[in-house]
Structure 1
């Protein structure tokens, strides 16, 4: 497989450079099936504004906009961005917290035909410099200060390191940069949006970083519009629903599964919160009568436990999607009994493929599986270590392709060579089995993973990437990043370290990692000194033995 990315011969500013499109035969099949409509992604908002102009579209604790107001605001933002010099196809890093401004910025960029790179609030210089360099981004939209962190200082560093990054807009006190809020005051003519190629990327999501720094995931207008629409239909969402964005809005899960975008396809309102604590979230759920939300397993358990003492309970919830890590049947039962009358287990990835249990599925299926594919055209194979298909019902690595699953990471030839089969199946790195018969037939059970990652609170953390940072510390001779079980996070990050001299503390280590620009969610929760690291027969660190030794210590 080729990515088409040859930087020495290609225009790096061109959006199509380094993008791997869907093969023509499969694209034709998805159009014939009606999944792909050849309409731009922002038409989701345009359709909603035409059908439900006066209905609340987005709400946060400070402000709300109807669909018509949001569309008008996005149009002004788009016109102002174009006036500043941003061109269709330009990539712009978008890093805003969960507020209505996130939706305004997202649709403003889409209406300008720019391509948002969906950064998360926790990303720091290591990731953002990488995203800027790979994408060739020309712009950046950030808050001023959030949760005590000054994003303007980070922006200054990014601009110094990336000469192409010419446009920086700050939501709040702009400091040395321009005000994002002022863009919405644009009172000039609003141009018609430029035409788009619906088979090119509408936005770039970020991967969980299973190896090295996170990769960029191109989601086309066709595939992502279908993703959001089909998810909303599968969750039986209607205009009477209200969706709560409790996870970072730039994540695929709360953005389009069904999230903000899926909610818009049926005229449902979306509520944003930057505080996902039970006290704050329950108050918003009660105030706006929220009916649907998506949570990671750890947060869902915290919310369920809080139902035992919080005075205001989330009684309006009808469906809670839970993903990010596999739930045991007991955990699923606990959440179903204590938090919500409707639970949907979801197993998916920003790369595309989504499996989830549906409203109306038998209880046995909801408790014991991670769902079935969203689309009839999703293709799944389960293979052994040699790439051969295993017998039905047996375990192996899940390979997938379909109408909303990528065909290659953006500008990542080496990763694509590892991650895709010659016939275009994406290697998920997840160990699964697909039930072959009975009421669970066709449903997926996630039994483990093949890639060396840690699932911490819904974030996928690359062990190898963290280890590279650990090795850079002068006091560390050898290190292994391993997962330890945690009741609330699912897994916590443990740095098992052999010191070359006087040991350092966890706080000192994380201060060092902070200075290297490592995201907060990727830093160790536990530091365990070890005399040596056990090895396998071929000389690799035996991480199973590392974990066993640590757990044996109590």
Structure 2
């Protein structure tokens, strides 16, 4: 399925920004050169996560499983341009499922393990999937069987582990002629680099969850930018601690792993002791971690002294502003470079690396102004995108320093639009085709030659709790039907560990009282994911609103902070 218009494909291909590589073709290249090399490694604590033993696989062993998976999926009727919902933790099977589906030209739509029936049913409605792939148990709890009943339109259901009404791909083997038929089919129906590889999910800039289709050609420039920041070399070991469902992990690790023909070590869910142990025992060269973890490590030097991180060439960090103190201390005291990363599923890509900004204070605060005329940067992504800031009120472009504006971006990393959402797409692209990120930046002061962007906040009201996006509008709509509430609005409030938590501000009906537990029970009945649950409550007489009646969420946040 190709969604990119032909003129865009021809333009980017002519300029050398896009090519012919797919995830699967990159794997075949690595297999050809490194078949006996170790390729995929499970989390050490897999037994706790999934109930079975961790695996270590060479490229050849990966290939054998990928071929088996592809033949199983083909035998069960999956074909090019079908869509499959994938809900798997970071185990070695996840990249192999991606590879098998990529070979067939089937579109992968990965979702977080935290998603519940409410979110999955909405995605089913959006993409009409042909199949669902998940796992028998997760963290000691039955997982697949919870969602069996919501797939009611003949979707194929596959699992890792034995589950009623699911095909267990752990121990299933296709018929003797299925492999040959699968090979003939893929030869006759090749997947191109412009075909859609994934539909990831984001709350985007429109408030409600949207599918983000990305082709192989849209993913690869982001992967190459990540390889530049991680200073990846052939044969490197990469440690992926973020769920492999979005930009940070698919671009930064899945594709990057194959580009460097290295070893990918999986980690999930995040466990600090396991994470640090993996770095030292696996000789990890690059990984990523949220700012809260990096700050916590410096505040607990005993932990750092007990673990050997000397193998790391650098570590990526993003999702929230970085502390200058943190970046400087790791660089000067521990000889560890912290790279500042900003990106999105839609294709926003700003990367502040040491080989472009050596000063840790500047690197913590600023990002290079990629794609701005007159500024030259060495990261390859800077040559294939354009960025600008616009005033959120007037839409006029901002050229002066220290004036916040919305970041807009266009180019070879930027998606073509949300899945099946023409109205949302009309809102998020300007007349020149720039994507409106919904994020506020400002140009750095004159004494920095105005070379950098500084992150200021979000135009949108999206809540980011522990790296998970939460739409306040979605929760508003769900809670608005609560019988005790006249009005309600949800906001994020600051939290040192998670970044933000969810708070509810309610105007109650006369004579009513309400508790946080009542609200949680109400939302639990709606079957929403647990990470969206509110953790604090305020009641007020009126909600703050602007002249046209829109709730002013920034004032709600002040009620909690």
TM-score with structure 2 length normalisation?
A: 0.88
**Partner deviation per Cα, 1:347-370 (whole Å, 9 max, x = no partner):** 110101211112323214312213
**Secondary structure of residue in 1 paired with 2:171:** helix
The alignment status of 1:271 with 2:265, answered yes or no, reads: yes
Once residues 275 and 211 of structure 2 are traced to their aligned partners in structure 1, the CA distance between those partners, rounded to angstroms, is 31
Name 1:447's counterpart in structure 2. Answer: 456
Name 1:167's counterpart in structure 2. Answer: 156
Once residues 85 and 335 of structure 2 are traced to their aligned partners in structure 1, the CA distance between those partners, rounded to angstroms, is 36
Name which of 104, 110, 116 aligns with 2:102: 110
**Alpha carbons 2:442, 2:456 under 8 Å: kept:** yes
**Alpha carbons 2:399, 2:443 under 8 Å: kept:** no
Name 1:11's counterpart in structure 2. Answer: none
Name 1:34's counterpart in structure 2. Answer: 16
The alignment status of 1:301 with 2:290, answered yes or no, reads: no
Name which of 417, 425, 428 aligns with 1:419: 428
**Paired residues, number:** 529
The alignment status of 1:98 with 2:90, answered yes or no, reads: yes
Once residues 525 and 289 of structure 1 are traced to their aligned partners in structure 2, the CA distance between those partners, rounded to angstroms, is 39
**Partner deviation per Cα, 1:32-62 (whole Å, 9 max, x = no partner):** 3322112323212111111111111110130
Offset of residue 318 of structure 1: 2.3
Q: In 2 relative to 1, CA 488–284 (structure 1 residues): closer, same or farther, beyond 3 Å?
A: same
User: Which range moved further: 437-446 or 32-41?
Assistant: 437-446
**Partner deviation per Cα, 1:115-159 (whole Å, 9 max, x = no partner):** 100111111222212222211211000111213543323432321
Once residues 339 and 79 of structure 1 are traced to their aligned partners in structure 2, the CA distance between those partners, rounded to angstroms, is 48
**Secondary structure of residue in 1 paired with 2:493:** strand
Name 2:377's counterpart in structure 1. Answer: none
**Partner deviation per Cα, 1:253-293 (whole Å, 9 max, x = no partner):** 0121x212212211121111124221121112121121211
Offset of residue 372 of structure 1: 4.7
**Secondary structure of residue in 2 paired with 1:452:** coil
Once residues 234 and 71 of structure 2 are traced to their aligned partners in structure 1, the CA distance between those partners, rounded to angstroms, is 30
**Alpha carbons 2:461, 2:553 under 8 Å: kept:** no
**Alpha carbons 1:301, 1:488 under 8 Å: kept:** no
The alignment status of 1:317 with 2:327, answered yes or no, reads: no
Q: In 2 relative to 1, CA 166–540 (structure 1 residues): closer, same or farther, beyond 3 Å?
A: closer
Once residues 413 and 515 of structure 1 are traced to their aligned partners in structure 2, the CA distance between those partners, rounded to angstroms, is 32
The alignment status of 1:228 with 2:223, answered yes or no, reads: yes
**Alpha carbons 1:498, 1:529 under 8 Å: kept:** yes
The alignment status of 1:280 with 2:274, answered yes or no, reads: yes
Name 1:362's counterpart in structure 2. Answer: 358
Once residues 229 and 391 of structure 1 are traced to their aligned partners in structure 2, the CA distance between those partners, rounded to angstroms, is 29
Name 1:291's counterpart in structure 2. Answer: 285
**Alpha carbons 1:208, 1:459 under 8 Å: kept:** no
**Alpha carbons 2:327, 2:337 under 8 Å: kept:** no
User: Which range moved further: 203-212 or 459-468?
Assistant: 203-212
The alignment status of 1:543 with 2:516, answered yes or no, reads: no
RMSD of aligned Cα (Å): 2.4
**Alpha carbons 1:485, 1:492 under 8 Å: kept:** yes
Once residues 108 and 333 of structure 2 are traced to their aligned partners in structure 1, the CA distance between those partners, rounded to angstroms, is 38
Q: In 2 relative to 1, CA 91–181 (structure 1 residues): closer, same or farther, beyond 3 Å?
A: same
Unaligned regions of 5+ residues in structure 2, if any? 45-53, 371-380
**Partner deviation per Cα, 1:396-453 (whole Å, 9 max, x = no partner):** 1111111021121111111111111132111101111234766565432111211121
Name 1:253's counterpart in structure 2. Answer: 248
Once residues 324 and 480 of structure 1 are traced to their aligned partners in structure 2, the CA distance between those partners, rounded to angstroms, is 24
The alignment status of 1:262 with 2:256, answered yes or no, reads: yes
Q: In 2 relative to 1, CA 508–317 (structure 1 residues): closer, same or farther, beyond 3 Å?
A: farther
Once residues 21 and 539 of structure 2 are traced to their aligned partners in structure 1, the CA distance between those partners, rounded to angstroms, is 56
Once residues 287 and 477 of structure 1 are traced to their aligned partners in structure 2, the CA distance between those partners, rounded to angstroms, is 56
**Secondary structure of residue in 2 paired with 1:482:** strand
Within a 5 Å distance, the mapping from 1:94-493 to structure 2 comes to 94-160=86-152, 163=153, 165-183=154-172, 188=177, 189-190=179-180, 191-192=182-183, 193=186, 194-256=189-251, 258-309=252-303, 311-333=306-328, 336=331, 341-360=336-355, 361-363=357-359, 364-373=361-370, 374-384=381-391, 385-393=393-401, 394-435=403-444, 441-493=450-502
Offset of residue 201 of structure 1: 0.9
**Alpha carbons 1:365, 1:439 under 8 Å: kept:** no
**Secondary structure of residue in 2 paired with 1:249:** coil
**Partner deviation per Cα, 1:81-139 (whole Å, 9 max, x = no partner):** 11111111100001100110111111111112111001111112222122222112110
User: Which range moved further: 177-186 or 331-340?
Assistant: 331-340
Q: In 2 relative to 1, CA 39–375 (structure 1 residues): closer, same or farther, beyond 3 Å?
A: same
Once residues 86 and 476 of structure 1 are traced to their aligned partners in structure 2, the CA distance between those partners, rounded to angstroms, is 47
**Alpha carbons 1:40, 1:198 under 8 Å: kept:** yes
**Alpha carbons 1:326, 1:370 under 8 Å: kept:** no
